[in-house]
Amino acid sequence: MGFSFEKLTVWQDAIELTGSVHQLTLSFPKEELYVLTSQIKRASDSIALNIAEGSTGQSDKEFNRFLGIALRSGIEVVSCLYIAKRRDIINEKTFLEYYQTIEKLIIKIQALRKTLRG
């Protein structure tokens, strides 16, 4: 691994999330393809992409800004999960599984942000 972001556990977790979300959306109805499916995939991808982009050759202040974007993308994924549950696309068990995964990732992003402020 040649780039600094590749060593970050938070980025590795975000990459895992993108794969999990992709697998989840394979079961979404076709009418959601350009709506919820697209939105939740873009939001989950955005977490990993912003962590990577912010970590490379930036100041701590700039990295912190990108982590803030990643954090907001994580919150967007959570909202998409609520919508999917509300539309009966996912059940409560699946909702909680993904919710807890994203919650842990958001906590890690917040912890990394705190190290950049200090």
Give the tens place of pLDDT for each residue, 75-99.
999 999 999 999 999 999 999 999 9
In this model, does residue 1 exceed pLDDT 70? no
Tell which phi-psi region holds residue 3, choosing left (phi > 0), alpha (psi between -120 and 50) or beta: beta
Q: Which domains, ranges and CATH numbers included, belong to the chain?
A: 4-117 (1.20.1440.60)
- CA distance from start to end of the chain: 27
Binned at pLDDT 50, 70 and 90, residue 56 comes out as confident
Residue 29's pLDDT band (cuts 50, 70, 90): very high
Q: Indicate whether 118 pLDDT > 90.
A: no
Q: 90: which DSSP letter?
A: S
Distance CA 46, CA 34 (A): 17
